[in-house]
Each structure stands twice: as C-alpha cells, then as structure tokens.
Amino acid sequence: MDETSAQFWLEVIASVAILFWTVGHWLVRRTARLLESTPIESAIEVDGEPAELRRRAAATFARGEQRSTLQRLRVDAVDDESVQWTSALPVVRYRGAMTFARAGPGRTRIAWRAAAEPPVLRFARWFTLAGAVVVLGLFLLLSELALPDPNPAIRGQVFQMVQAIHVLWPPFVFVGLARMLRRQFGADLDRVAHNLPHASV
C-alpha cells in the first residue's frame, strides 16, 4: 500500500471513529440530563381505602418482586400519606414515593414519583473520555510510525485504527440499558399501583 492510500484510509477510519465518539458522547450527556431532570411520575384512581392500599404497597415493595426492577426496592419510610423507597438497581438508582389520598367514597388516588441517580452514565462518561484518548492516540501513533515507513506492510497497519471501536461502543450499551430500565421501572410501578386493590399482603 502506498503512502497516499494509507493516509486516505487512516483519515477515513479516524473520521468515522470521531463521528461515533461524538454521537456516543452526545447520547450519554442527553440521557443523563433526561434521567436526572425528568422524574418518572404518574397517578391513577382505584377502588379501596388509602390506609389499606398504603399498607399493601409497603408490603409489596418490602417483599420485592422477582424478575422485576422492583426486586431490589428498599422501603425507607411509611407515613400517613405515602410509602417512600429507594431502589438498589446497579445501573440506575431511583429514590421516590407513592402517595395515597382519598378521591371519593371508597376511591383512592395513587400517585408516584421517582427521581433517578444513574451511576452507569457516570461510568459511561469515563468511557467517552477513554474513547477520545484512544482515538487521538491511535491516530497520532499510526501517523508517526506507520505512514512514513517505507515498508508497504507496515503502512498497511493504519487499519489498526479500527481497534478504537473497543472503547467507542460501550457508551451506546450503557445509554440503551439506562433508558430500557427507566421504561421498565415506570411500567412496574404502574402495574403495582393498578394491582394494589387486588394484592394480598
């Protein structure tokens, strides 16, 4: 491979790597802002008395549900209006409460709110930093050592720039996992609230 071709391919691969890094970095920042600034919240009305439904909710949360994002929920407090809890999910932690208020004869309004603390996205930020260092380092290393070498086989090593992918793909996985768990956590809270009138303690 001649030097012009080697330089062309090195620049093409580096440009694609920079594009991947930029998109990954943007997604990590955007998802972190979304999770930290937009809590999961909703409300419904169901049949039942607030005190009884609150007792059932506390028991359900304390018991934990197998194969659910609520499996590692820790009940922090139960008062006259709410059940407060903290989730111990390893990817995204939530702190929140479910409140119970009378909505009419034999009816209760159940509302919930959960604020996120996404440690996985802090980890993903480190990966984006590592990605920038690896992309820049590989580009400089190959530009200085492989491109000027008179041996065509050594110049062909510019394709090693593709190795940058190893630090560029994990942020996409972390973002996808955090978003999926957010949706699932909201769906699990919604299901528990709807099922409380029929739950056994």
pLDDT band of 147, cuts 50, 70, 90: confident
Confidence of residue 201 (pLDDT cuts 50, 70, 90): low
Half-sphere exposure of 57 (CA within 13 A, CB side): 33
Q: How confident is the model at residue 160 (pLDDT cuts 50, 70, 90)?
A: confident
Q: How far apart are CA 3 and CA 156, in angstroms?
A: 9
Residue 32 reports pLDDT greater than 80? yes
| pTM, entire model | 0.79
Q: What's the pLDDT score for residue 159?
A: 85
Distant-in-sequence, close-in-space partners of 176: CB < 8 Å, separation ≥ 6: none
Q: Is the pLDDT of residue 150 over 80?
A: yes
Lowest mean per-residue pLDDT among 19-23, 68-72, 137-141, 167-171: 68-72
